[in-house]
Structure 1
Amino acid sequence: MHSIIHNLPARVSLCLTPLLLSNTATMQSFSAPSVSLLLLPLPLLLLVLFSSLLLLLFLQWRHDPVDKRLPPGSMGWPYIGETLKHYTENPNSFFSIRQKRYGDIFKTHILGCPCVIISSPEAARIVLVTRAHLFKPTYPPSKEKMIGPEALFFQQGAHHARLKKLVQASLLPSAIRESVSEIEQIVLKLLPTWENSTVTTLQEMKRYAFDVAMISAFGDGWCLEMEGIKNLYQCLEKGYNSMPLDLPGTPFRKAMKARKLLNETLRRLIEKRRESRKQGGGLLGALLGAKDHKLSHLSDSEIADNIIGVIFAAHDTTASVLTWVLKYLHDNGELLEAVMKEQEGIQRRIVEGNRELTWDDTRHMPLTSRVIQETLRTASILSFTFREAVEDVEFEGYIIPKGWKVLPLFRSIHHCADFFPQPEKFDPSRFEVPPRPNTYMPFGIGVHSCPGSELAKLEMLVLLHHLTTTYRWKVVGDEDGIQYGPFPVPKRGLPLKVTPRNKKAI
């Protein structure tokens, strides 16, 4: 048995070895006939061994931790859990059905991980703020491997605080205000390619968000390595939310190969910057020029993991939010007209001053900003965030076992009528007054909140300024609905017909 395990792929071997060793009683039942098993024909022997392994996996699956008062809920199918349901059903329905059945805290199993879902503002604050030391930031193993274990997401304590300060240095308003012109140039090159044609909004927004992420990560300028990084990242992202099956031909295996090549490409770029002694801009420049003596020797792998982490955080989510913004504005004509008037007023000042869009201009877009806020609430692109219990934790009368994932459910909080009356209605005016504390968390809360939130808002405002003052758009086809995989977006990525506006001189 052990020789067969050693011949399995590394990931499978590592998973099965502790499983077999932990089920000593079961293993003893297999040890007696082990010699006779070897006399069986090879196909039959493999069938027996495979059936035995499946049995052990099932026994492991059915085995709850001893004396644990686990929250109620369903763990779904062995290994797969409820992953397929989660990524194919409307997330509002997926979570609300379980909330009604089990309450505000329940267990499930997604992406290969046993999880506890919590869905009240008070519980979210406990996990993310007041008792955050008991719940370390984490992702499912597949995502963690692809991003890199040394990325900011996965750090805690003093090291996390120092590293976050360094990462934030390139993402604070004082730093990104100088990026407005560069972001605007990306928009001015992108939008004309949409003219008088049908575009898939999600794909176009991914192009845009990726180019902005590259500026954020590497600063101004383009090089051959960056083109390679872009191509490899596109391969990598296809495996982010796949089942972690390290087998030939699977999205996970392909993504891990791309991740290895991406790491090598980043190392070459880092080495060139080090040799030239020109740190450059963006996050890479900040990481190479670390002044904190405790972070002055960041390894190439630490730098690479954090670069990939920033691209990951700035790409899919921002693209999905922008896709929904265009959908909501399209469906609410009066609101779109009001946003256009706000942006035309800014455009007049720009023309009169014979200048480009500035950071200060983006600070005077209150209605457009509320549209973005309401989109973040209504669409709730990130349904939850991942944490992991660092020890057995007693929580609201239940025990969350060490190693289990804990998922504060932002989506349910954002769609709770107690906090947001008529939650399904798209109503930016609700943000004319600040929401109640801990009820609006599109970028998380606490020390692990998203450091790039201001950059995300900026790139949305810059694109919306030029889009609304120059173009009109109409959804192609009458198919309404939502697709999932992994983030909820309008069906078919929202195909739009984009045409220039017939407008009077501003």
Structure 2
Amino acid sequence: MGEIFLYIFFFFLALSSYIYFRRDKRDPSKKTKLKLPPGSMGWPFIGETLQLYSQDPNVFFVSKQKRYGEIFKTHILGCPCVMLASPEAARFVLVTQAHLFKPTYPKSKERLIGPSALFFHQGDYHLRLRKLVQGSLSLDSIRNLVAHIEAAAASALDSWDGGRVINTFHEMKKFSFEVGILAIFGQLKEHYIQELKKNYYILDKGYNSFPTNIPGTPYGKAVQARKRLNQILSEIIREKREKKLLEKDLLGCLLNSQGEKGQVLTEDQIADNIIGVLFAAQDTTASVMTWIVKYLHDNPKLLEAVKAEQKAVRKINEESNQSLSWSQTRKMPITYKVVLESLRMASIISFTFREAVADVEYKGYLIPKGWKVMPLFRNIHHNPEFFTDPQKFDPSRFEVSPKPNTFMPFGSGVHACPGNELAKLEMLVLVHHLVSKFRWEVVGSQNGIQYGPFPVPLQGLPARFWKESTS
């Protein structure tokens, strides 16, 4: 881990130096009567990158907000940034003035996902693709996945049984991958699933590595795995077209789509968006589910309440010899509030990156064109003004709806996560089987957070699971 950090540090040191010497050194605020937000730009060349990554990133953000307020500037990862920590500011950037702020990602990451992926774009192409993805992940579509997700959850949990120590986060990632495959492809031949899984995991491992495309490095391996994924997806697409299958899964929606002028999506565009959805769905959902396991473990009274709710559902289904239904997943009030509170507490997406496409004025401050803009979701979710005693895990707080724009676990606006309902369904089904059939204990230290890049309990929450007797 230390070696990776050094690679990342020296890469961004070099990048920062290049940007520093190439950029216009004049203060952009001097071109207008507006002033830049308060804050520190840190050291020459490297800005405040070391301060951010040498500690819990949340400590960095919170300390800045306490010192400078809800809008402040900094310089990290080679980029001047404006950070925003209020609901109004998040709405300004993501909703009301979203056209002034474009999504921005490092080119190295864009290469691995694919440049045509939905979340790299704005405008007509983005709207067309978003409509397709939303349609395939709508409530009407995912309600047909309940039985398949339930089978995947039951199979995953059965594999944990026996009391051996497992890495909960890694196992949750396997489950999320299975659900992602179901949502994208529907039923898929097993050899395709295994090939997709093998190469996707190589890509995933290299995604946050030092981005040097040298054979044998994690990033170099990821680039090659991405090429193989294109080949596998091309085979699946060809087979679907030959059989003229018209399923309503994501691949079917992408294949059958025609633009206003009759244009169809290319295979590369389809592949990029499939990989993009897989990537967006896996680590984030797996992280939240891992936190749910921990939060329930740490709150025995709450766990008993969730167990009672889910065992009542299970009893009805056993007596009538039926499986979990869509309507039942809509009537789990205690469990649903646990999911919402887990999303708030964990705040897996702590912030998002945008880039100003023009000089923008906000509350008397200048946000210069080209600067990165970061709405800080975690700061908002943990603000005591909006959530009383924010460090306490308390699902009952969601008995009343949060104030507008204070709860954004899936983002907001045109770039909000289109798979949020699928993610919540996945969590509800997993919790149903977990608490109604299993008991578990966390092994070793029960505190601490690691970032890779999403926050998960330390060491992926090592735990033992046992199936409870039904007698």
Do residues 431 (structure 1) and 431 (structure 2) align?
no
Contact 1:80 1:112 in 2 (8 A): yes
Uncovered stretches (5+) of structure 2, i.e. residues with no partner: 1-10
- Conservation of the 8 A alpha-carbon contact between 2:233 and 2:271: yes
Residues 49 and 77 in structure 2, CA contact (< 8 A), matched pair in contact too: yes
108-117 or 168-177, which deviates more:
108-117
- Residue number in structure 2 paired with 1:497: 464
Q: Percent same amino acid at aligned positions?
A: 56
Partner residue, 2:63: 97
The one-letter code of the counterpart of 1:161 is L
- Per-residue CA deviations over 1:379-427 (Å, capped at 9, x if unaligned) read 1010012222111222233322222221111000000000000000000
Cross-structure match for 1:160: 126
Distance 1:295 1:304, change over 3 A: farther
2:209 to 218, 236, 242: 242
SS at match of 2:207: coil
Amino acid at match of 2:341: E
Residue aligned with 2:37, SS: coil
Q: TM-score normalized by structure 2?
A: 0.90
Q: Tell me, what secondary structure is at the counterpart of 1:73?
A: coil
1:142 partnered with 2:104: no
Q: Does 1:175 align with 2:159?
A: no
**Alpha carbons 1:107, 1:115 under 8 Å: kept:** yes
Q: Matches of residues 11-410 of structure 1 in structure 2 within 5 Å?
A: 59-60=21-22, 63=25, 66=28, 67=30, 69-76=35-42, 82-83=48-49, 85-87=51-53, 89-196=55-162, 197-246=164-213, 250-294=217-261, 296-410=263-377
Matched, 1:446 2:413: yes
SS state of the match for residue 114, structure 1?
strand
The answer to whether the 8 A contact 1:108-1:115 is kept is yes
Partner Cα separation in structure 1 for residue 192 and residue 43 of structure 2: 43
Gaps of 5+ in 1: 1-14, 16-50
DSSP-derived class of the 1:238 partner: helix
| Paired amino acid for 2:90 | A
Calculate the aligned-residue CA RMSD, in Å.
2.5
* Cα displacement (A) at 1:356: 0.7
Q: Paired residue for 2:3?
A: none
Alpha-carbon distance in 2 for matches of 1:421, 1:93:
19
Query: In the aligned structure 1, how far is the partner of 2:46 from the partner of 2:232?
Result: 34
Larger radius of gyration: 1
Asked if 2 retains the 8 angstrom alpha-carbon contact of 1:61 and 1:78, the reply is: no
Q: 1:376 to 1:54 in 2, by over 3 A?
A: closer
**Paired residue secondary structure (2:105):** coil
Q: Deviations over 1:424-475 (max 9, x none)?
A: 0000000001000000000111122111000000011111101101100100
Q: Tell me the secondary structure at the aligned position of residue 366 of structure 2.
A: strand
Q: Secondary structure at the match of 2:313?
A: helix
The aligned residue for residue 483 of structure 1 is 450
What SS does the aligned partner of 1:426 have? coil
In 1: Cα distance, 2:189 partner to 2:55 partner: 40
What CA deviation, in whole Å up to 9, does each residue of 1:314-338 have, x standing for no partner?
1000000000000000000000000
| 1:217 shift after superposition | 1.2
Task: Confirm or deny: 8 A CA contact 1:380 1:411 kept in the other structure.
Answer: yes
1:116 offset after TM fit, Å?
1.8
Contact preservation (8 Å) 1:75, 1:82: yes
- Which range is displaced more, 428-437 or 399-408? 399-408
Distance 1:81 1:54 in 2: 8
- Aligned pair in 2 of structure 1 residues 460, 54: CA closer, same or farther (>3 Å)? closer
Q: Distance in 2 between matches of 1:443 and 1:102?
A: 27
**C-alpha distance in 1 between matches for 2:400 and 2:17:** 57
**One-letter amino acid matched to 2:180:** A
Structure 1 residue 83: Cα displacement: 4.7
358-367 or 159-168, larger mean C-alpha shift: 159-168
1:9-49 per-residue CA deviation (whole Å, 9 max, x = no partner) reads xxxxxx9xxxxxxxxxxxxxxxxxxxxxxxxxxxxxxxxxx
Q: Secondary structure at the match of 1:315?
A: helix
How many pairs were matched up? 454
C-alpha contact 1:235 1:255 (8 A) present in aligned 2:
yes
Partner Cα distance (2:261, 2:168) in 1:
44
CA contact (8 A) 1:88 1:485 kept: no
CA deviation profile, 1:236-267 (whole Å, cap 9, x unmatched): 11233334444565543332332233223222
Q: Secondary structure at the match of 2:102?
A: strand
Distance 1:349 1:110 in 2: 54
**Do 2:380 and 2:407's aligned partners in 1 also have CA atoms closer than 8 Å?**
yes
